[in-house]
Structure 1
Amino acid sequence: MTTTNATRPRLPAPVFDIGLAVLLALLASGGTVGANDGHRPEPVAFALIWAMAAFLAVRRLSPEAALAGTVAGLSVYLYLDLPPGPVFMLPAVAVFFYAFTRSVRALAIALGVLYVYTVAFHQAVEPGRSLWFIATIALLWLAIPAVGGRIAREARRARAREREAERERYRADERVEMAREIHDVVGHSLAVVSMNAGVALHTAEKHAGTPEGVVENLRAIREASNLALQDLRATLAPLRRGQAPELRPTGAISDIAALVDGVRKGGLPVEYQLTGDPAAVPVNVAATAYRVVQESLTNVIRHSGATKAVVQIACDPEALRVHILDDGRGGPLHPDRMGQGVTGMMERVQAGGGAFTAAPRPGGGFAVKAHIPYDRKEAR
């Protein structure tokens, strides 16, 4: 499933903020020119208007500075008895953006302080005005843009939730399709391998002259394919329902012995050494070690041409050390040519704060080493 989303080009935030401030300054300046007939605004009026607009240009960086700067500029403007006009619009815009970006508690405090200041200031500069009139106008002047800012904030959040819900629906559809494809391709192949191994095992067991090693290999193939098919189905089950898979740690230190034994049955001699206290190893660290051993032995079988391998697990008090050594052909491992297996091992180990290396051994062969620190308190 593929979709194409057309995105509209958007202006950089600083360009938009400066452009909005210039537009508001031009509107306020133009409205001030014709505010009072026969009264020409002084240059200081336009200077204060543009200064307030400049504070609006930094509203994204500091809504507090924009609010304080525009209110201070308006106070000076009114104190100098300049033509009122639309100059009141600039602090109102600052209130709108403050309500849009800040919490309800911060907005309530700011509006309370600003309301008391506005009423007191107008009482001082206009003593003849009614207190109730000033209080009502100040309330409307602050409340309308504040409510508008909160409405715009909630509308944006609602749109974000809708977009996230749409993305989640798309991801769910992708999971279902992915699970279907994996099940049809990989699941079918594993089922065929298991069936053919079972038929071959049944035939081999009927012939008394069949070497025991062949029978053991067939059993190992059948068991491994059945187990892989079960794991695949368990992993794909939530995906088929459109849900995210439950990526729980699988594999414990005690399971590594069975893993090594399965490789031995396949014909590769593997020496397994375990030291320390496996019970002290946290579940997630043990799962990482299990996957590292599993992938390393798979690589030994497929690529190295080795005649033997060694798996060393050391459960130290503060860390787990994992070494997988073989006597195969070795050779350098180019970073650009690393397969998904080596990359996956490295990512698992590094995700746990550990160190990982995979490189040829000086005396021949190849060595995979992982050192994963842990806290003993997480073990249980």
Structure 2
Amino acid sequence: MNRFALSVSRGIARVTESALGPYQSAVIRIGFAGTWLLFLLRELPHRQELYGPDGPWSWDLAHQLVADNGAFTALMWSDGQFWFEAVYALAVLASVLLLLGWRTRTMSVLFMVGVLSLQNRSVFMGDGGDNVLHLMSIYLVFTRCGQVWSLDARRAARTRDARARGEWIPDRVGPVLWVVLGAVLVAVTSGGRFDSDWFVPALLWGVWLTQALWWAIGRYARSYEPRVLLDIVANVVHNGALFVIASEACLIYATAGWYKIQGSRWQDGTAVYYPLHLDYFSPWPALADLLAGSGTMVMLVTYGTVIVQVAFPFTLFNRRVKNVLLAAMMTEHAVIAVLLGLPFFSLAMIATDAVFLPTSFLLLLGGWAAHARGRLFSSRTPKPLPEGADSAPPPDDPEHTHVGPEGSSAPFSSGGHPPPT
């Protein structure tokens, strides 16, 4: 009993003391932001047909559907061309900033708004990757996905260095963002624009008020207890969101595998053969014909897909087997992207699978990326300074300031005042 209680206490401490999986959550952030950004840029010439007011799925039809299912989309607030272009541009900008990790808490919310607005405007566009991106854009709001590999992390490091030198750098960007977005939120609510279900409006208001509470406690609290309590709550929410993302991935693979078992084409080993002969799923006909020409290969790929998908949730209890199947599934999605012409579906699934990647592997990738970046920038010879010029480096950008919940796993350890974004 004592061992059980000790294990429980250690588990509780692990969940509350830190935001787990900082590198995994960073890869998920980069993966989904990059996937959505590439999709928006790829469909930029076709955006009017996909989501515009003059598309086949008209604004009136979309309005009827949204009124029936209660989905959230900002594109239903106006049927004008300017509003559509503004929302599309906001979706692109939020994706870029979330990819870079700038003010990740705010950008994750705007990223979610962009994804829901466009996808719920024309629900019949896209493939299964859209459904995954739809869900993950909501889950990302609850994660602390800017702890590493982000501009927030860089800003947090500079802030810690400044505090160590006894300097105080005020935050100017955070309060401005908070006030502007708060004014927009008040205007939208008072104007009756939220005709969707309660979840999205409650989430937007909850995040905005939470950021205000975080800033107020960080600035005016006389003791560390309220700050520590907020940090614990943020860690628990982050860890819960990561658990939901992992569970979602397991559910996707388990249901897909068990439904495949019930299909006759998957039972006789020919399910992979037929999509390879459809023009819609054959961007490279020669490659598709090469694979489809081998009956043994088609059967192995068909059965192997079912076995890997059904077995994966059970391999989470064995790290080595899990890593092998994880590599197999990522390779499978990469092949699907090339052979069947579904790159965004594959990228979305690979980004979801990233939650299971081992930290040692991610650290190795980060080291390679840092080494490559160092070699790239070191190859540029600096220009000589003018005679008599001071060779000391310029001071840090005064806009770099303290980072709140998205930039560090322990943002208030030295008594810094957090920004509201």
The structure with the largest alpha-carbon Rg is 1
TM-score range, shorter chain: under 0.3
Q: Which structure has greater helix proportion?
A: 2
Decide which structure has greater strand share.
1
Larger relative contact order (CA 8 Å, sep ≥ 6): 2
TM-score if structure 2 supplies the norm length? 0.21
TM-score (norm 1): 0.23
